[in-house]
Each structure stands twice: as structure tokens, then as C-alpha cells.
Amino acid sequence: MDQDAGPVVRPYAMTQGRVAASGDFDLVAFVVATVPDLTPGVHLQPEHHAIVEAAWEPISVVELASQLDLSIGVVRVLLGDLRSAGLISLYEPPAAEQPHDVDVLKAVVNGLRAL
Amino acid sequence: MGSVRSEHSGSRIPVALKILIAGGFGVGKTTMVGSVSEIRPLQTEEILTGAEGADDLSGVEAKTTTTVTMDFGRITITDDLQLYLFGTPGQDRFWFLWDELSQGALGAVVLADTRRLADCFPSIDYFEQRGTPFVVAVNCFDTDHRFGPEAVSRALDLDPGVPVVLFDARDQKAARNVLIELVEYVARRQLASAGRR
């Protein structure tokens, strides 16, 4: 009954209403934390801590959002904060317009055949 | 392909490639993602607020938010290489999400159902316009293959060379073969365009 009314906290409340510019943080970009956990002095929210914890091993942006049950847009804003603070590294996928390497395509086909 | 290692754990950072699974509502997109993904298909959400459109919202008292859900799955090819499959949102008004999904995508699988072939026209138009390579996969829910690939290709007015395959989205091997068909098609296109240069 209560959940029918929607989340108690509006989704973008945890970003203070900030919306990320799209195009940054591709869905399949990988995120890795640069520190094991956040020092208490750093003023960040629980969601920031959750991201750093989840990103100790490399994790894609889309899996991070799914795992933490946050929308993609919210995760991007929080990742932006963490990157500015130097707490995560981001690895974007190969440039979008660049044609995919034929050797990579062959590796994909071989990998799929082995399934 | 240059994979890198993260500084602390020494874990390799894989490169991930995107494949889109498109088609009309209820044609089997989620089923296909589920049958080839190594993880249970996950969902992710994007929340749209009034700010997304160019509509003038002045005077609108209760701004509504819409949640768009995307299914995705993953296939690990090697330690350095992963495939992500994204089921595209079915409704046409979410095209802008497709723009993001298709950015840098390897290609797309357009699922078709011969009982309502027209449902996949918007997806085909979209990928043709963007130049995203795609294959058409006809999901045969029953054994009644009323139309062969050539008939489907003609009915959809596909460019010559665009592969059309019949398959069952519930069958892991069949779904995998559709992905192989797509990647081989992408490789052929790449080689052909390199030859023309």
C-alpha cells in the first residue's frame, strides 16, 4: 500500500537535485575505487560509501546502478562527486565512432561458440 | 586491445561491448537476454522528470516522473572482454534512451514476430538511419514457420546482406547463434568498408 505512493525520498533528493550531463559515464564504463573505504572526514552520503564499497573490484556503471538499486542518472551524479574527490577511477569503453577491431570481433565469435 | 589493471587489486579492467536487443512489445527481448546471459537478467532504471522534454511545464502543479526499465545481461568472453546485452525499452517515446544505448554499440538484434511484423519497423528504421549494423531474428514461438527468411526480408524491405534468422528466443544455443550471426555480419561489413578505402 505504502509503496504504491512511490519512494519516500524523491530520487534526485540524494543528489541535491543535481542532474548529470548525459554522455559522461557510459553504461558499460568500468569504475574502480582508489581507496578501500572513505575516511570519516570526507563529507559524503551513504550512497557514496555504497558505491566505493561495491567498486573495490572493477564494476560497470550499469551493474553498479542495478546492484545498489539506484537509477542510472543518480549513479552518474554520485560517480561525478567521487571522481572529483579522486576516490574512483573511471575507464570508458573504446571511442564510440571508432570501428570495432576485427580481431576483437573474432574473439567474440570464438567466445560465443564456446558457450 | 589494451586492457589495463587497476592500481590496488591488480584486477584487470575488462572492455565491454554493447549489443542491443530491440523489437516490439512482447516479442521476446527479455526472454532472449535471459537465455544467453550468464547472470540472471538485471534491471536498471532511468527516471524521467519533466525536465527531459522541451515542454513548457509552467502551471503544471504535479510534475510527474516516469520510470523506464531496461533489462540487461552479460556474457564473459575472456578476462578482458565482456558482452552486455540490453533489451531496449519498447515504447517509442523513449527513443532518446536508445541514442545512449546505441552509442558505441557493436550492433543490434531486431526481434520480429511474423504475426505482427509491422511492430519491428520502428526499430529497423532507427538502426538503418543511425548506420548501426543489425540482424533480424524471427522468434518462432511455435513450430509453425509460415514464412521463410527470404519472405521476411522482402516484407521488411531489408538491404541486401542483412541477415534474417529464425530462432526460438528461449533456446540458449539458438539465441547464441543469433549473436554469432550478428558479430560475423559486423566483421564482414568492417572488412568490406576497409577494402573500399
Q: What is the ipTM of this complex?
A: 0.83
Tell which B residues from 62 to 91 touch A, by Cβ distance under 8 Å: 65, 67, 72, 74-78, 81-84, 86
pLDDT at position B57 is: 44
pLDDT value at position A13? Answer: 74
Mean pLDDT of chain B: 84
Whether residue A97 is predicted with pLDDT greater than 70 in this model: the reply is: no
- B8 reaches A (C-beta below 8 A): yes
- What is the Cα–Cα distance from B32 to B169, expressed in whole angstroms? 5
Q: What percent of chain B has pLDDT over 90?
A: 54
pLDDT recorded at residue B20: 95
Nearest to B13 among A30, A73, A107 (CB): A30
Question: What grid cell was written down for B120?
Answer: 519491428
Q: Return the minimum-mean-pLDDT range out of A52-56, A60-64, B47-51, B150-154.
A: B47-51
User: B170 near B36, Cβ under 8 Å?
Assistant: no
Res. A113: pLDDT tops 60: yes
Q: Region B88-112: what's the mean pLDDT?
A: 83
A30, A56, A102 ranked by CB distance to B14: nearest: A30
Q: pLDDT tens digits for B107-142? A: 999 999 988 899 999 999 999 999 999 999 999 876
**Considering the entire predicted model, what is its pTM?**
0.85
Residue B54 is predicted with a pLDDT of: 41
Q: What are phi and psi of B179, to 5 degrees?
A: -65, -40
Which chain B residues touch A57 with a CB distance below 8 Å?
Answer: 9, 11
List b or e across B149-181, with b for residues whose CB sees 16 or more CB atoms inside 10 angstroms.
eeebbeebebeeebbbbbbbbeeeebbbbbbbb
Average pLDDT, chain A: 83
Task: Give the number of other Cβ atoms within 10 Å of residue B106's Cβ.
Answer: 20
Highest mean pLDDT among B96-100, B141-145, B174-178: B174-178
User: Does B173 have pLDDT greater than 90?
Assistant: yes
pLDDT for res B72: 93
Confidence category of residue A94, pLDDT binned at 50, 70, 90: confident
Residue pairs between chains A and B whose CB atoms are closer than 8 Å: 133
DSSP-derived pairing of the beta strands B107-112 and B134-139: parallel
CB contact under 8 A, A57 and B11: yes
Residue A103 C-alpha cell reads as 580481431
